[in-house]
Amino acid sequence: MKFTARIPVTAGLLVLLASTVGCNKLKARDQLNKGIQAFKSAQYEEAVNHFQNSIQLDPTYELGRLYLATAYASQVVPGLETPANLATAQKAIDGFQAVLAKDPSDLTALKQIASIDRNIHKFEEAKDYERRVIALDANDAEANYTIGVVDWIQAHNNVVTILGAENKIYDGLGDVSKSKDACAKIQAQNGPLVSDGMQYLNRAIELNPSYEDAMAYLNLTYRLKADLECGNDADRKADVAQANDWVKKAMNQGKLNEKAKEDKEHAVQ
C-alpha cells in the first residue's frame, strides 16, 4: 500500500517539474525577444540584461548565449585598448567560445571572434579564426578578403615604423632612397605578409569577381611589394604598375556594382 500510495505523488512531482521547466523555457524566449528588441534599438546594456535572464531561465538555450555575446561585441570600440574595452571584448569572446564548445562549426561565432580580435589588434588570432571559417566554407570570399586586409594592415604598420626611424614617410611607390638596413628589415617582416595577403585577396576575387574592395586592397598590397624590391628598380616599377592597374579595375568594378544596385532598386519599384 505504501509503495502504491507513493506512485501518484511521484507522478505529480514529475508533472509539476515538467510544467516548471516548460514555463522557464517560455520565459527564457520572452526575455530573448525583449533583448532582441533592445538590441535593435541600440540599447545594448538593456539587451545584455535580457539575454542574461534568458540564459538563467534556460541554461540550454544556445541562442541566448549567442545573442548575449553579440550584445557584448557591439559595445567593443575598434582600436580602443583601454582595460574596460578589452574586458568587454573578452566577455564577448568568452560567450562565442561557449557557443563553439557546443558547436565548433558555428560560423557566426567564428566570424564574430575574428572581428573582435581584429578590432582590438589581435591580428594573428583574427586571421586564425578566419582560416577556421575557410576550412568550413572554402567558398567564403569575405573571409579570404579579411585575411588579406589584416595582412596589409600589419605590413603597412611595419613599413611605416621602419621608414619612420629614418625620418621617411611611406609613399606607396617603393621608396628607393631608404637604407639597405631598412630595406632588409622590410623584406624580413613584410615578405611573408605580402605573399599571404596577395594569395587571399586573389582568392577572394576568384570567388567573387565583382569584389571591388579586394581589388582595391590588391592595389595597396602591390605598393607594399614595391618596397621589397631592394635594388631592383625594374621589379619595383612593375609592382607600382600592377598597383595602378588594380586601382583602375577597382574603380571600373565599383561603377558596375553601383549600376547593378540601381538597376535592382528600379526593378523592385
Domain assignment of residue 221, yes or no: yes
Domain assignment of residue 166, yes or no: yes
Instruction: Provide the pLDDT for residue 10.
Output: 52
Instruction: Provide the pLDDT for residue 66.
Output: 84
Establish how many alpha carbons lie within 13 A of residue 131's alpha carbon, considering only the half-sphere containing its beta carbon.
11
Domain assignment of residue 132, yes or no: no
Domain assignment of residue 168, yes or no: yes
The number of domains in the chain is 1
CA pair distance 235, 138, nearest whole angstrom: 32
Domain assignment of residue 69, yes or no: no
Its domain, for residue 208, covers 141-269
Domain assignment of residue 38, yes or no: no
Domain assignment of residue 267, yes or no: yes
Q: Residue 151 has which C-alpha cell?
A: 595582412
Domain assignment of residue 76, yes or no: no
Instruction: Provide the pLDDT for residue 8.
Output: 47
- Averaged pLDDT in 10-residue chunks for the chain of 269 residues: 42 44 74 83 83 80 82 92 96 94 94 97 98 98 98 98 95 94 97 98 98 98 97 96 98 94 79
CB atoms within 10 A of CB 259: 10
Instruction: Provide the pLDDT for residue 117.
Output: 97
- In sequence order, the 6+-apart residues with CB closer than 8 A to the CB of 36 are 47, 67
